[in-house]
Structure 1
Amino acid sequence: MAPVILVTFAGRQKRMEILTRYVHSAMDAGIIDEWHVWDFTRSQEDHEWVTREFGPVRFMGSDAPYQSKGSVAPNQPLRLSATITNDLHIAIIPNGGGDDYFELVVGGWNNSHSALRKLPRSGLTHFDRDGVPALWMRATPGILSPGTPNQIVLNVDAAGVPSLHVNNVAIGSWSELDISAGASIMVRGGWGASLELGNVRSRIQRFVGNPNEHMPYWQAYHFYASRLQAFSDSIFLKCDDDIVYMDLEKLSDFIEFRRTNPKYVIVSANVVNNGVCAHWQQLAGSIPEAVGHFERPPGGFGGSLWQSAARANELHDYFLQTNSKHLPLPSKVIEWQERQSINFIAWLGKDLVHMALPKGDDERALTVDLPDLLNRPTAIYSDFTVSHLSFGPQEQGLALDHLIGAYDELMRSSIAA
């Protein structure tokens, strides 16, 4: 059976903790096989939470900062499988405190040289190396292969002397370094080279995107599209980090519908607080006029719900008070030809051949431009309900604490049941 991979662009801790419980429950039930959490956080506090909460790092953009990757000690080497074209950076941070660390650059200078530097620990947080002399450097032409994962072994002998092998080639050994007490290891790419780490077995994996990009999500689609052979048999789910309700009993049905209906480019869940879904929910009589009028958003984008915290509050409160926790659409499947919000969607791995999205608006690309190019519609699946907390314009005036508290209570009762 095709593996099911959930992709989430993370992450705001206060909003994402509820989703985390639902996903863990779905994974425990065998409905979801892997969770890929992409760190597109905007605050250091959220970045630290994502780093602590989610699995080992698998991928880092070329501008991503150092990430922890194990340790070394005498006769306890570190082994890495690293897919990277140039500029693999390895930080060796000796145990026992101290103000400095050592930085190995493998395949720097356009994959022509490797070097060792000594830096203050503040150097772990930035890329500026101007004026920093190398303790050691040698020519290593073509040391990193672009055609296969590079096998990296950092060893420390009984005397505390580190040495490095890359693809079974001895790169260097540094007797002036004393790592007899062991060291923590961090890694990153750099200078245009992203880094993918192999041998990551965890079902929850962390992907660190390049920071400070306005619309960074193309990085995730490009990652999967450029690894089509590995992912073409998978089924992908993508959800926002602020999905605060998920009907776990219907999730398998949604996945099966996605698997057996390949004509749709993407399939959306039936989303609470989504302008297009709210329009169809009201047409079906699932949302009374007393809750508000939910018009068809022009071209599927924006609209009065998207703009209004008050309307979002009213809709969430209405949904929370329903017994069924389901707002049916007029039919089981709504075929759709316009834009829609991609709060919770699914696509087939074989369609990744079309999904190396350019930088920019991934929502428009997936729901307007790509369906038009392929002459294939999108769809909304009525029987699987999720609730999406908020859009950006709704933030001012959203009853955040009230809603998170209510959805947290619903989650606990839903999972316990």
Structure 2
Amino acid sequence: MAVIDGRRVIAWTPYGRRRTYSILIKYLQRDVERGLIDEVWAFMNTDPTGQEDDVAYAHELAEQHGWFKLKHRPEGINLGRLPKQRYTGLAYRYMTDPNSVYLRLDDDVVYLHDDAIANLVRARLEMPAPVAVFPVIFNNAICSHFLQACGKVPMEWGEVKPYCMDPTGWANGPFAVKLHELLLDHIERDAVEDLYLYQDFPLAPGTQFSVSCFASLGGTYAGLPKPGVLVPDEEESWHTIHQPLATGAPNIIRGDAIVSHWSFFPQKPFLDGSALLGRYREIAEKL
């Protein structure tokens, strides 16, 4: 069994897109084989029609790997006619083991630095008070703000304010292209650690933050009035606004754990028109 400091580590993803998840799974497999991750869960968040290839790929992975598990929306819960992104909060009903650390990753996280999982999980265990401990997520507006503050990302590309939907950091396609180029350059010359932040950064309770990747504790969900049931049920607002305000503890960005998140929808035309995803795929294929 893979453990870090005596705790099981379960990496999970609201799953929907083979195109990018086929890159992420290479990193998750690497870290399972290194003994850092115990299980990988795909919480199936797909449409009933039009995503047959995506669904088939997840089933293939489950057949190939004993550590890869499919999780489905709990039965008997009708949230009405909501976009599928709103169903991801239901996944936490599976995350009530107080001895496990749960590592959430968007299905378009396309890079995990060698030390990202170990550093993030150890930070999570050292700091039990925050609801969520985040890595430095490339292509996350608030992380871009701190990367600029630490001199890692040029201000000349456009200043990013500490707001999760900042017009530059969240919606500007050319800025996202430059960010990915910067990170890929560092990956390709084995210099990612040069992009570490000088310190961990706290996020004031109530600060909305894009939850593309974070570590949380099973005990957090086990201790809820109904174990695993988030109120409100939207996971981003629960983890970054509601629960930090309720506890008074800031969430934390860990300075020495780096991952890359591919795209927010306003950036998509610019990123999809580039060769950057192919570069990420080539790097992952060499693992």
Aligned sequence identity (%): 25
Q: Does residue 41 of structure 2 align to residue 36 of structure 1?
A: yes
Match of 1:182 in 2: none
Q: Is the 8 A contact 1:284 1:328 kept in 2?
A: no
Counterpart of 1:261 (choices 123, 127, 141) is 127
SS in 2 for 1:220: helix
Query: Where do 5+ consecutive residues of structure 1 fail to align?
Result: 57-200
TM-score normalised per structure 1: 0.59
**Separation of aligned partners in 2, 1:265 and 1:203:** 26
Counterpart of 1:219 (choices 79, 90, 109) is 90
Q: Does residue 217 of structure 2 align to residue 348 of structure 1?
A: yes
Q: Does residue 279 of structure 2 align to residue 406 of structure 1?
A: yes
Runs (4+) of structure 1 exceeding 6 A deviation are: none
Q: Is the 8 A contact 1:55 1:205 kept in 2?
A: no
Q: Is the 8 A contact 2:104 2:215 kept in 1?
A: yes
Q: Does residue 9 of structure 2 align to residue 4 of structure 1?
A: yes
Counterpart of 2:53 (choices 36, 45, 48) is 45
Q: CA deviation at 1:306?
A: 0.9
Q: CA deviation at 1:359?
A: 6.0
SS in 2 for 1:232: coil
Counterpart of 2:173 (choices 309, 331, 341) is 309
**Separation of aligned partners in 2, 1:336 and 1:15:** 28
SS in 1 for 2:87: coil
Q: Does residue 183 of structure 2 align to residue 319 of structure 1?
A: yes
Map 1:56-71 to 2 at 5 A: none
Match of 2:24 in 1: 19
Matched to 1:394, the amino acid is Q
Counterpart of 2:69 (choices 205, 225, 228) is 205
Q: Is the 8 A contact 2:8 2:101 kept in 1?
A: yes
Match of 2:237 in 1: 364
Q: Is the 8 A contact 2:11 2:103 kept in 1?
A: yes
Q: Is the 8 A contact 1:7 1:239 kept in 2?
A: yes
SS in 2 for 1:36: strand
Match of 2:196 in 1: 328
* Max Rg structure: 1
Q: Which has a greater percent of strand?
A: 1
Name the structure, 1 or 2, with higher relative contact order (CA <8 Å, separation 6+). 2
Matched to 1:328, the amino acid is Y
Q: Is the 8 A contact 2:116 2:259 kept in 1?
A: no
**Separation of aligned partners in 1, 2:150 and 2:166:** 21
**Separation of aligned partners in 1, 2:19 and 2:44:** 15
TM-score normalised per structure 2: 0.84
Match of 2:3 in 1: none
**Separation of aligned partners in 2, 1:271 and 1:2:** 24
Map 1:227-306 to 2 at 5 A: 228=96, 231-290=97-156, 292-298=157-163, 300-306=164-170
Query: Where do 5+ consecutive residues of structure 2 fail to align?
Result: 1-5
